[in-house]
Structures are given as structure tokens and as C-alpha cells.
Amino acid sequence: MQECINLILELDKVDGVDVFLSRAAEEVLRMYRLEDDLRRATGAVVRDTLASAPIVGRFARSRYRVLVIAPATSNSVAKFVCGISDSLITNLFAQAGKNRMPIIVLPTDVAPEMDSIAPKGKVIKVYPRAIDLENTARLREFPGVTVVENIESLRKCLITCS
């Protein structure tokens, strides 16, 4: 999450970046004490507060040129793959896809064994479930969706993919 916020702040200096936060993202920001870092961004911060997510209309009006979902939890990826649009993030994914806007996704589950950083900075091993890896693989097949595996790939993709 810290790497994603650092990238937001880096990009925000060049071009305004609006941030859309799911409820889970807000919880994680608090757990990792990253709220103040995100407040340094100059773009809008939109929170997941309404079931219908009316803010997604901005995507229909071509206000944005690319949607980046980073990091994307296994829950969100599963919903993307199944076509479920019941939250701010899944509605953004659906609306951007319907408008043929490029979508870049950085899933949390990209390998059978991964290092993850716990809220207090300790590195722990995580072992994504087979279904989570399968959903990530399925997402790679979606037209207009680019799946990246790390923050550097995301940075490069933003230069070449959007």
C-alpha cells in the first residue's frame, strides 16, 4: 500500500490523480498509518459511501483516461471476473470497461508464494489460494485490462498502456 501511495504522490506532481477508496482500503490505510501520506495528494479523494456509486458517471463522461486499481484484493478480483458490481471499486471497474477505458489492475495475489508486509513492518509469507490465482489469470484475459505484478510494472504500464 505504501508503494501505491508513493506512486500516487509521484504522478500527482505531473498530472492530478483522483483516488477512489473502498471501505477496506480506508481500514488498511488506518492500520498501516498511511492516511496522512495520502492527504498530501492534490486530487480528489472519493470514499465508498453510497451503494449506487453515482461518482462512476465521471467515467461515462470521459473525465479520466485510465482506471488503475492498486492494490486489488482477491475479493475485488473475484468480483471483477464474475461481473459483480456491488461496491465503489467494482462499479468503477464495470463502468470503465463499458466505456472501453484502459484498466490496469495490480492484484494482491499474483504468485503461489509471496512476501507481504504486516502493519508493523514485519515481512510474512502468504500463500494465495488456487482460486485467487485462477481469478487473476482469468482477469488477464479480459479485453482492455492489463494485469501487472508489481509497482514497477504498474509505473511502466502507466507510461505505455494509457
73 found inside a domain: yes
How confident is the model over 130-156, as pLDDT tens digits? 999 999 999 999 999 999 999 999 999
Q: Considering the domain boundaries, does residue 84 fall inside one?
A: yes
Instruction: Please state, as a whole number, how many other Cβ atoms lie within 10 Å of the Cβ of residue 47.
Output: 14
Per the structure, how many domains does the chain have?
1
Mean pLDDT of 90-115: 94
Q: How confident is the model at residue 89 (pLDDT cuts 50, 70, 90)?
A: very high
CATH code for the domain in which residue 79 is found: 3.40.50.1950
Domain assignment present for residue 96? The answer is: yes
158: in domain: no
Task: Look at residues 91, 12, 15 and name the one whose alpha carbon lies nearest to residue 55.
Answer: 91
Please state, in angstroms and rounded to a whole number, the distance separating the CA atoms of residues 108 and 125: 13
Q: 75: which 3 cell numbers?
A: 475479493
pLDDT tens for 40-53 read: 877 778 877 765 66
Query: Per DSSP, what are the bridge partners of residue 114?
Result: 126
Tell me, yes or no, whether 157 lies in a domain: no
Where in the sequence is the domain holding 76, given as residue range(s)?
2-150
Supply the pTM of this predicted model.
0.87
Question: Is residue 155 in a domain?
Answer: no
